[in-house]
Amino acid sequence: MARRGSAFAGLSVALITPFRNGQVDFEALERLVEFHVSAGTHCLCPVGTTGESPTLSHEEHEQVISAVVKAAAGRIKVMAGTGSNSTSEAIRLTRWAARAGADAALMVAPYYNKPTQEGFYQHFRSVAREVDIPICVYNIPGRTGKNIEPETFVRLAEIPNIVMVKEASGSLDQASQILCSTDLTVLSGDDSLTLPLMAIGGEGVISVVGNLVPQDMLAMIGAFQAGKTDEAAAWHRKLFPLCRDLLGLASNPIPVKAAMQMLGRDTGELRLPLTPLGQAERNRLRQTLAAYGLTIETD
């Protein structure tokens, strides 16, 4: 079955939002875009969970989308985070992304207010009617408080510009059901499940670990796509400790920002209510980075 979102197959990176002295560091953001263009990353996803979108003002959210699109300059795709638990706000952000030139929108399921399955459907349909760009529905019940059920994805798949799912329920059964019953492209929302998900028909990942080692994620994906399953599995085993710690030591993006600081690639600054890793967790992360073979520049 041809998948409608296959243009976004491969490695998308859930981009951090760099801060300095409490403000968005746009120069650092541009450097991150250049890093990923050079690495061969296929797509960037700014202002999602990893980009600390809940702590950005509406103006900052729009500015980051525009800055990433401008820096990308058509050299790399941009799938901008535009989700909200307010349908009107999601429409506004998605319109902004479309006008700014984003290639697609990444829309998280409405969080906190826990809509019914009908509410999920009406929310995404309402946004999709207002824009022409492709939409990726982001299902992460551990964050939002409620799962988008496979039956709802069947209904959403009937909407022409809803073409992808970022599946972060942790359930391969759910992903299998979506793949069996729709023509949506399924992308992994959990780095450690990327290879298993691709084995059942997924087409890539929207990755946190890709902020650090995009070439290695690309190598794993490329090996699997080339039918080199043993090589892909070897990459999976190498990457797994890094995937585990970046998403397990504390809430994302606390560990990945700490890792980027240690590698000399970011200030590591977070916005409240997120707080830095404790010393014990920093020690564990430092050991994992060193064991992986990454060069630690700062303590």
Q: Is residue 107's pLDDT more than 80?
A: yes
> What are 80's strand-pairing partners?
105
Q: Is residue 274's pLDDT more than 90?
A: yes
Q: Is residue 257's pLDDT more than 90?
A: yes
Q: What is the mean pLDDT of residues 33-55?
A: 97
Q: Decide which of 3.90.600.10, 3.40.50.720, 3.20.20.70, 3.40.50.300 is the CATH code for 6-228.
A: 3.20.20.70
Positions marked catalytic:
138, 166
Q: What is the mean pLDDT of residues 91-120?
A: 97
Q: Is residue 137's pLDDT more than 80?
A: yes
The predicted-structure confidence for 197-216, as pLDDT tens digits, reads as follows: 999 999 999 999 999 999 99
Q: Is residue 109's pLDDT more than 80?
A: yes
- The DSSP H or E segment spanning 162 is strand 162-167
| Helices 58-72 + 87-100 axis angle, to 10 | 30
Q: What is the pLDDT of residue 294?
A: 96
Distances (CA, A) of 231 to 165, 174, 237, 240: 26, 27, 10, 14
pLDDT grade for 235, boundaries at 50, 70 and 90: very high
Contacts of 191 (CB under 8 A, 6+ apart): 205, 207, 208, 209, 210, 217, 239, 243, 246, 247
Neighbours of 59 (CB within 10 A): 8
Contacts of 89 (CB under 8 A, 6+ apart): 58
Residues 26, 23: Cα–Cα separation, whole Å: 9
Q: Is residue 276's pLDDT more than 90?
A: yes
Q: What is the pLDDT of residue 297?
A: 84
Structure tokens at 195: 């290879």
The predicted-structure confidence for 142-175, as pLDDT tens digits, reads as follows: 999 999 999 999 999 999 999 999 999 999 999 9
Q: Is residue 135's pLDDT more than 80?
A: yes
The predicted-structure confidence for 8-26, as pLDDT tens digits, reads as follows: 999 999 999 999 999 999 9
Burial of 73 (0-12, 13-18, 19+ CB in 10 A): exposed
Task: Indicate the length of the chain as a whole number.
Answer: 299
Q: What is the pLDDT of residue 2?
A: 78
- What would you report as the CA-atom Rg of the chain, rounded to the nearest whole angstrom? 18
Q: What is the mean pLDDT of residues 255-278?
A: 97
Q: Is residue 1's pLDDT more than 70?
A: no
Q: Is residue 94's pLDDT more than 90?
A: yes
Decide: helix, strand or coil at residue 61: helix
Average pLDDT of the chain, as a whole number: 97
pLDDT grade for 185, boundaries at 50, 70 and 90: very high
Taking the model in full, what pTM does it have?
Answer: 0.96
Q: What is the mean pLDDT of residues 231-260?
A: 97
Q: What is the pLDDT of residue 298?
A: 73
Contacts of 209 (CB under 8 A, 6+ apart): 191, 217, 239, 242, 243, 246, 256
Q: What is the mean pLDDT of residues 109-133?
A: 97
